[in-house]
Amino acid sequence: MKEYLQITLRVWKMLIVFIALTVFFYLGLAWVDRQQANFHRYDERGNDAVKVSAGQQPAGMLEDSARDFWMRIREFLQDGE
């Protein structure tokens, strides 16, 4: 009976340590997220963005894109990825 209680106590200690470390890790991740929330990877533009218009594609462009698609599929299957 005494051995059973010792094993149970060890299991509870390990569980408490695991939970404490998990909470500590979560709080660390939350802290890093809060620190990075205001960090802007790219600077804001000072002026208005330039409007880009999409031109019409040449007639042969559609055939090239279809051929490119099938070449990519073939390459994908050859590499086995």
Range of the domain at 18: 1-37
Q: Is residue 74 part of a domain?
A: no
What 3-state class would DSSP assign to 33? helix
pTM, two decimal places: 0.46
Q: Is residue 27 part of a domain?
A: yes
Q: How far is CA 63 from CA 47, 66, 72, 75, 77, in A?
A: 39, 5, 14, 18, 21
Q: Is residue 72 part of a domain?
A: no
Q: What percent of the chain has pLDDT over 70?
A: 68
| Structural domain count of the chain | 1
For residue 28, what are its two tokens? 């660390």
Q: When comparing pLDDT for 24 and 64, which is higher?
A: 24
pLDDT higher than 80, residue 67: no
| Average pLDDT over all residues of the chain | 80
Q: When comparing pLDDT for 61 and 74, which is higher?
A: 74
Q: Is residue 19 part of a domain?
A: yes
